[in-house]
């Protein structure tokens, strides 16, 4: 890989992030009257639903806090971050320290999931905003809620999930994976107070990595064994790829070469398993044994697995210098910019059918907001900038 290619990609990601994606959210999403952000935005940025989905409020607050702290002290970015952080702190938390999944325009609760993910993004947002603004109270609140979420994460009955007599106990990859990411965010680089939690999360993630089959399972038995039902056979290539780069960050933090190799393999295996050789792009879901997946959207191509794959392959290449890793990066970049990026109105489309044709035109909805696209562009731009300097 030559220097000019690295510089070209760096400029590509910089332009897409700062001239297309971030301006879309700056121009269309803030609600300075009621607080927070409108996240249901059509192709042109028009609001089509005023309800606010709290995990997206947290993600967008985190994104603008991160940009302000690490890229440029743009006062509008800090204003947006504060608008989100205050809405989260004052409007979205219940008396029992649960976080709503969705609230009204003014912040009245609508519904709550029996999961911990809204809480996780609430914590991430307040921790990063605290560091961006220098206001300690937000980090204190984030740390306080993290202690509760950690307890809930190993017993989801505490957030209302029932356990029935015939239920097969299962370990979910999403939980230890997001907790590792959360610790990386909330700790500020000082992991000394989180050693027990870090080792437990790593232990739980490793249960899902079956090296003998070169597969990463979404759900396994509590001891890591394969479970032969539709839940146990489920593969989500994009999620496994995202988990791979999360773990690569931790391999660096703890200086563990074997862990780094496992993270590299997770990304490579999941791409090989998940890539559609006929039409391109990553399948959303697969069945490990080749059965037809029961998810009706299994063969769709969604924005977020591709954004995660862009960064994961580039991160692999920065470590391995293996040209095949860079080719995978280029393959995903080419597909993503061709199919998802909207050069006319900014930001990215989110949903395609298997053949790569758009099925939805909106830029923001209950599950798509200001996060996966700008985060991946930001991380790739940062890494390419480092590579440009060192090559």
What's the pLDDT tens digit per position in 324-369?
Answer: 999 999 999 999 999 999 999 999 999 999 999 999 999 999 999 9
Element (H, E) at 376: helix 372-390
Terminal-to-terminal C-alpha distance of the chain: 10
pLDDT at 1: 64
Whether 241 and 305 have beta carbons less than 8 Å apart is answered as yes
Report pTM: 0.97
Tell me the average pLDDT of the chain: 97
Res. 271 pLDDT band, cuts 50 70 90: very high
| Locus of tokens 């320290």 | 97
251-255, 275-279, 374-378, 382-386: which has the minimum mean pLDDT?
251-255
| Residue 341 token pair | 């990026």
What's the pLDDT tens digit per position in 204-241?
Answer: 999 999 999 999 999 999 999 999 999 999 999 999 99
State the CB neighbour count (10 A cutoff) for residue 178: 22
- At 135, give phi and psi (nearest 5°): -95, 110
What's the pLDDT tens digit per position in 307-326?
Answer: 999 999 999 999 999 999 99
Task: Give the DSSP letter of residue 287.
Answer: E
Tell me, which fold does domain 1-30+168-391 have in CATH? Glycosyltransferase (1.50.10)
Res. 4 pLDDT band, cuts 50 70 90: confident
Q: What is the rounded average pLDDT of the residues 138-147?
A: 97
User: Percent of the chain beyond pLDDT 70?
Assistant: 99
Cα–Cα distance measured from residue 73 to residue 77, given in angstroms and rounded to the nearest whole number: 8
What's the pLDDT tens digit per position in 16-48?
Answer: 999 999 999 999 999 999 999 999 999 999 999
> What is the total residue count of the chain?
391
Q: What is the rounded average pLDDT of the residues 82-86?
A: 98
């Amino acid at each position: 890989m030559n220097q000019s290619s690295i510089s070209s990609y760096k400029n590509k990601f910089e332009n897409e992030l700062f001239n297309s994606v971030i301006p879309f959210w700056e121009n269309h999403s803030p609600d300075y009257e009621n607080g927070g952000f409108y996240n249901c935005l059509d192709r042109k940025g028009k609001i089509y639903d005023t309800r606010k989905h709290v995990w997206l409020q947290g993600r967008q607050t985190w994104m603008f806090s991160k940009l302000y702290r690490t890229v440029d002290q743009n006062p509008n970015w800090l204003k947006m971050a504060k608008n989100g952080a205050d809405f989260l702190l004052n409007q979205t938390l219940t008396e029992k320290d649960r976080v709503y999944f969705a609230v009204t325009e003014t912040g009245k609760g609508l519904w709550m999931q029996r999961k911990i993910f809204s809480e996780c993004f609430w914590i991430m947002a307040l921790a990063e905003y605290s560091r961006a603004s220098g206001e300690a109270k937000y980090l204190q609140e984030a740390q306080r809620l993290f202690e509760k979420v950690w307890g809930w994460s190993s017993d989801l009955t505490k957030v209302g999930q029932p356990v029935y007599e015939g239920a097969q106990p299962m370990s979910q990859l999403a939980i230890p994976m997001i907790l590792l990411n959360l610790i990386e965010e909330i700790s500020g680089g000082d992991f000394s107070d989180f050693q027990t939690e870090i080792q437990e999360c790593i232990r739980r993630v490793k249960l899902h990595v079956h090296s003998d089959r070169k597969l990463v399972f979404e759900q396994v038995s509590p001891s890591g064994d394969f479970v032969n039902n539709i839940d146990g056979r489920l593969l989500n290539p994009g999620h496994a790829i995202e988990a791979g780069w999360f773990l690569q960050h931790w391999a660096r933090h703890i200086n563990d070469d074997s862990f780094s190799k496992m993270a590299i393999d997770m990304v490579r295996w999941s791409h090989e398993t998940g890539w559609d050789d006929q039409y391109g792009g990553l399948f959303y879901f697969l069945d490990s044994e080749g059965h037809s997946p029961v998810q009706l959207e299994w063969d769709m191509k969604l924005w977020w697995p591709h954004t995660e794959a862009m960064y994961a392959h580039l991160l692999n290449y920065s470590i391995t210098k293996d040209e095949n890793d860079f080719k995978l990066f280029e393959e995903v970049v080419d597909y993503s910019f061709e199919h998802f990026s909207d050069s006319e109105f900014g930001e990215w489309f989110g949903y395609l059918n298997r053949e790569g044709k758009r099925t939805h035109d909106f830029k923001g909805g209950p599950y798509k907001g200001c996060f996966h696209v700008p985060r991946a562009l930001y991380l790739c731009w940062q890494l390419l900038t480092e590579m440009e300097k060192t090559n």
